[in-house]
A and B are shown apart, each in its own frame.
Chain A
Amino acid sequence: MKHIILSTQVSAFAIAASLALTAGSANAQQAMKEGALGVQNRSIGYVMVFENRSIYQAKDAKTQCPTALNDGPPEQFKKLYPDTGERTVEGTRLAWEGELWNPSAKELNVPYYEVQGKVGRGMNLDGKVGPNDYVDPDTGEKGIDNQIYRTVGCTFNYRDGQTSTLTPQWRRATYNIFVIELTNVDSLQNDDDVTVTTYRGKDRLITDATGNEYLPGGSQTLDTRWGKRYITAFKGKIKDGVLTTEAKDLIMPAASVYAPRDGAPDIIYRDMRFQLNLTDTQANGYMGGYADVWTWYYHSHKTRDSRHQAYGGTAGPTLYRALMKNADAFPDANGQNTAISTALDVKFVHVFVQHPGAQVAGMVNHGTQSAEAAATEARARE
C-alpha cells in the first residue's frame, strides 16, 4: 500500500514536472492550435536562433585541406619566435600581440592553409561565375561567392561545428537578439512584394528544458531607440515559400562569447541579402554578403582572446593576412578590397513582434548609421 501511494505521488509529481517542462512552449502550442501563428495583419516576425558561417565540410577533410589544418596561437608563436637563445618580451610576446591587434604588412615565414577544391556552399552574390567561385555540393549551383570559406575552411575552429557556432553563447544576452519582420505579406508561399525589416530585439529567447533548442511563439520587443543602427528595410519577394531580398548594407548586433558586451564590435556586412525558406513557425536558409574585413577580424579576436582562439587553432596574424588577400569587394582608394564574400547558415523561429510605439514606423531608416560609415568609424576607433 505504501508503495502504491508513493507511486501515485511520483506520478503526480511527474505530471507536474511535465507541465513545468512544457510551460515555456505552452503559449506556442496553444497559439498554433488556434491558428494564431503565421501572418497576422499582413506581417510576421521571426527571431534568429542559429547563426554559423557557411563552411562546407567534405567527409574526408584531406580533400579540402591536403596538407594540414592551420596552426593555432601556441604552435604559430613557437615558429615565429623560436627559442634560439636569449629572447626578449618585446621581441616575442609583445611582438605577437602587436601582430594580432595591429597587423603589419610584412611577410610572416609561417604556413597558412586555405581550402582546396571547387565545392562550397553559400550564395552567388555578384550574379557571375568567376574563377574563385564555388559549386554548391547539393544543388550544383555555380558562382558561389564565399571567400571566407576559402580563408578559414582549414582552421579547426570553423570546421568543428561546436566552437565556431555563433548562436548558443551569443544568444545568451539580449544585446544581440536579431529580429526580422516581414510586412506587406499576402502569402508565405508566393508574394512578389514584401518588406523585410531588421531590428534588435530586447527579450530573451524561449528554449526547451535543455536550453539547446529555441521554440517559436515567443515575443520580442523591438529596440528602436538604442538599436537604430540595426534597422534596415529590404525589399523582397516570396516564390514557392522561399524569400529572397535585395542586397543592402547591414549592421548585425553582436556580442562576445564570454561576456554579453565587452567591447566586441558589431559585424558589418556590405550588400547583405536573405534567402530563407518560410513557414508559419520557422525561416531557415542563408544570409549572404560581404563582411567588412577589419570588423569581422577584430570581432573574432575581441570575443575570443588568444587562449580561447587556441581551442580552435585560430592564429590572428596569418588569419588577417589571408582575409586581406582573399577580400573580393569594396576596394579602398589604394585598390585594396576591404570586404570579403561570405554566407551565414541561419535559422529563425516565429515571434510576436512588439513595436514600442506608433512612431516606430517613421523611425525606419531615420537616424540609422550607414554600414560604410560604421566600418570607417570602427577602423578609426581601433
Chain B
Amino acid sequence: MYDFNRRRVLRGMLGGGAVTVGLPLLNACLNGNGDAMADGRPMPVRFGTWYWALGIAKAAFVPNKLGAGYDMKPEMEALKPVQQHFNVLTNYTAFRDNAPNLCHFSGWVISRTGTAPMTGGNIPGETVDVTIANQVGRTTRYKMLTASADGNARDTFSYDNPTTPNASEVSGLKFYSRLFGPDFQDPNAPTFTPSPKVMVRKSAISGVLDDVKDLEKSVGADDKARLDQYFTGLRHLERQFDQQLTKPEPIAACKKPGNLKEDTKVGSDVTIIASRHKIITDLMVMAVACDQTRVFNMSYGGNSATKAGFEKPSHTATHEEPWDTTVDYQPTCSWFTRRAMENWAYYVKSFAEFKEGAGSLLDNCFIMANSDHGLARIHALDGMALFTAGRAGGKVKSGLHIDGGATATTRLGYTAMRIMGLDVPSWGTKSNLTSKEIGEILA
C-alpha cells in the first residue's frame, strides 16, 4: 500500500510561481471502517452554531422527563424525527450581575461571549465560534462561514472583537458564488490549476511579511506588539493562500451543487424565512462537507417574522399578545417558536442525512444553538433553552434532555471549546465564569 497522508504533495513551478500539488487520495484517505483517516487520525470535527430569536414558552416547550426518551411538548413536536440527533438543555441562566438587561441582546451576548454587555451594541469580546475558529479553522479555505435567514447582513452573532462583526451571508446566490463560484477548487476534479490571482496575492503578502520583520527591529515595544498582531494576521492569511494553492484532497461526499437560478426571496413571512433558511442551509452543509470551512454559523433569527393574517410581527406579539391562562403561554408567540423549531429540525436533519465515511456529516460535527431570552415577553434571562446537535466524532451523546439547574448558559460555550480541543481552564467573566462542562452529554 502506498504511504498516503493528507498533506503529501508534489512540488513544482507554475507560471513562474512555486506551487504545491496534493496527491489524489480519494477513498484511500479513510481507513477500512470509514470512521478515521487512513493514517489513523480521526475525521475532522467541525463546529457550528444556530440561533433563533425570542426564546421559548416553558409550558409549551420544556419536557417533563429528563434523559433519553423524553416527551416532546408542542413547541418541540417538529423535532421528533431528529430527536436522536440532538440534546435539549433547559433551565439555564445568562447572569448579568450589575449590567443592565439589554433587551434581546444581553442573553445571546452572554451565551456567545461569556460576558454581560454594559451598553447596547457593546460586544465584550470575540464570540465562541471565533475562539474555536482561531484554533481549528486555519487550514480551510474559509476560517468560518456566517449566514442568516433573516435577510439582514447585520443579523450576526459572530464577532472577531468588539468592533468587528462577521457579516452574515443573506443571499443564496451570493453565498453560492462565494462557495462554488470560479474560485472553488473541486477536490474531486482530475486536474488542478492554481489560481494566478491567489499566487500574486501570496507573493505580495510574503514580501510584506519580510518588511514587517525588518520594521520590528526599529520600533518600540508598543509598536512591536501591534506589528506582532499584524504579522500574525498576515501569517494566517498566508496559510490560507497556501491552502488554496494546494491541490485539495478528494472528498467523496463533496459534490458541487447545481447553479442556483433564483435568489432567495425578500420578505419576513415565516414561509419566506424558511425558504431562505433551507437554501442557505443546503449550501452550508455542502460547504462543510467539501471542507471549505470547519466553523459555521447559521441564524434563523425570526425576531421580525410575520404570519399571514396576523398583523403583528413576532417580537411585537411577545409584548402585546395576551397571556392565555388556559394553556399558560401566548398562543401566537408559541406558533412562531414552533416555526423556528421546524427550521432547527431541518438544519439538524440536513447534516444528519449527509453521508460522510461510514456515518453522517453530523456525526463529525458539534453544533450549539441558543436564543436571546427564556420567556421573551418579560425579557427573561433565566429559564433559557439551548440545544446541541451532533456527536463530535464520538465525543458527545445525543437524544437527551438535560436540566441545567439554573446554571450559566456559558457552560455550553465552555463545553464546546473543550470538545473542539481548546485546552482552556474556564470561560466567561463574573457569574458567567465557568469551568463546569455539561458533563451529561459527554460520551
Closest A residue, CB atoms, query B99: A211
Give CA–CA (A302, B102) in the complex, Å: 19
> Which residues of chain A are within 8 angstroms of B382 by Cβ–Cβ distance?
210
Whether the pair A20, B431 counts as a contact (CB closer than 8 A) is yes
Q: State how many angstroms separate the Cβ of A141 from the closest Cβ of chain B.
A: 32
Nearest-neighbor residue (CB-CB) of B103 within chain A: A258
Chain B's closest residue to A311 (CB) is B319
Is B223 an interface residue, CB under 8 A from the partner? no
Query: Which residues of A160-175 have CB atoms within 8 Å of chain B's CB atoms?
Result: 162-163, 168-169, 172-173
Give the shortest distance, in Å, between A73 (CB) and chain B (any CB): 10
A310 contacts chain B at the CB level, 8 A cutoff: yes
Chain A residues with Cβ under 8 A from B97's Cβ? 24, 207-209, 211
Residues 1-43 of chain A, each 1 if its beta carbon lies under 8 Å from chain B, else 0: 0000000011001101100110010000000000000000000
Whether A210 contacts B426 by the Cβ 8 Å rule is no
- Which one of B98, B377, B378 lies within 8 Å of A211 (CB-CB)? B98
Name the one of A17, A208, A311 contacting B434, with C-beta atoms under 8 angstroms: A17
Bitwise, A303-324 to B at CB < 8 A (1) or not (0) is 0000100110000000000000
Is the CB of B146 closer than 8 A to any CB of chain A?
Answer: no
B100 at the interface (CB under 8 A from A): yes
Known A-B contacts A20-B431, A206-B98, A311-B320; the reply to A13 vs B93 at CB < 8 A is no
Q: Render B371-395 as a binary contact track against A, CB cut-off 8 A, 1 for contact.
A: 0000001100110000000000000
Chain A nearest CB: distance from B329 CB in Å? 15
Q: Which residue of B lies closest to A211 (CB)?
A: B96
In the complex, whether A177 has a CB less than 8 A from a CB of chain B is no
Which residues, 388 to 443 on B, are CB-close (under 8 Å) to A? 426, 430-431, 433-436
Contact with B along A146-184 (1 / 0, CB 8 A): 000000000000000011000011001100000000000
- Determine how close the nearest CB of chain B comes to the CB of A357; give it in whole angstroms: 27
A299 contacts B by Cβ under 8 Å: no
Whether A21 lies near B98 (C-beta < 8 A) is no
Q: Which residues does chain B contribute within 8 Å of A122, judged by CB atoms?
A: none
B101 at the interface (CB under 8 A from A): yes
Interface on chain B toward A: helix, strand, loop, or mixed SS? loop
Tell me if B433 and A20 are in contact (CB < 8 A). yes
Within 8 A of A (CB), among B71-126: 93, 95-101, 116
**Contact partners of A205 in chain B: CB under 8 A:** 98
Q: Which residues of A contact B116 (CB under 8 A)?
A: 211
Interface membership of A204, Cβ < 8 A: yes
Bound: A206/B97 CA distance, A: 8
The interface residues of chain B lying within 8 Å CB-to-CB of A253 are: none
Q: Which single residue of chain A is at the shortest CB-CB distance from B406?
A: A210
Residues in B whose Cβ lies below 8 Å from that of A172: 99-101
Most buried by B among A14, A16, A72, A210: A210
The distance in angstroms between the C-alpha atoms of A344 and B23, with both chains bound, is: 78
Tell me the smallest distance from the CB of A122 to a CB of chain B, in Å. 26
Query: Which single member of A173, A209, A311 contacts B431 (CB below 8 Å)?
Result: A209
Q: Report A-chain residues with C-beta under 8 Å of the C-beta of B430.
A: 20, 209
Min CB–CB distance B104 → chain A (angstroms): 12
With both chains docked as a complex, state the minimum distance between the C-beta of B108 and any C-beta of chain A, in angstroms: 16
Residue of B96, B100, B426, B433 ringed by the most chain A CB atoms within 10 A: B100
Contact (Cβ within 8 A) B431 A169: no
Across the interface, do A310 and B431 meet the contact criterion of CB distance under 8 Å?
no
Residue numbers in B under 8 Å from A209 (CB-CB): 95, 97, 430-431
A17 to B427, CA, bound (A): 11
Tell which of B95, B433, B435 touches A9, judged by Cβ atoms closer than 8 Å. Answer: B435
B101 touches A211 (CB 8 A): yes
Question: Does the CB pair A162–B435 fall under 8 Å?
Answer: no
By the criterion CB–CB under 8 Å, are B101 and A10 in contact?
no
Residues of A within 8 A of B311 (CB): 74
State whether A210 and B98 are in contact (beta carbons under 8 Å apart), knowing that A20-B433, A21-B431 are contacts in the complex. Answer: no
Determine whether the beta carbon of A13 is less than 8 Å from that of B435.
yes
Contact B100 A169 (CB under 8 A): yes
Complexed CA–CA distance, A163 and B377 (Å): 9
**20 A/B residue pairs, CB under 8 Å, sorted by A:** A9-B435, A16-B435, A17-B434, A17-B436, A24-B98, A162-B377, A168-B101, A169-B101, A172-B101, A206-B98, A207-B97, A207-B98, A209-B95, A210-B93, A210-B95, A211-B98, A211-B100, A211-B101, A310-B320, A311-B319
- Having A10-B435, A210-B381, one finds 4 other A-B pairs with CB under 8 Å, namely A20-B430, A72-B320, A209-B430, A211-B381
Task: Name the 4 nearest CB pairs between A and B, nearest first.
Answer: A172-B100, A209-B431, A311-B319, A13-B435
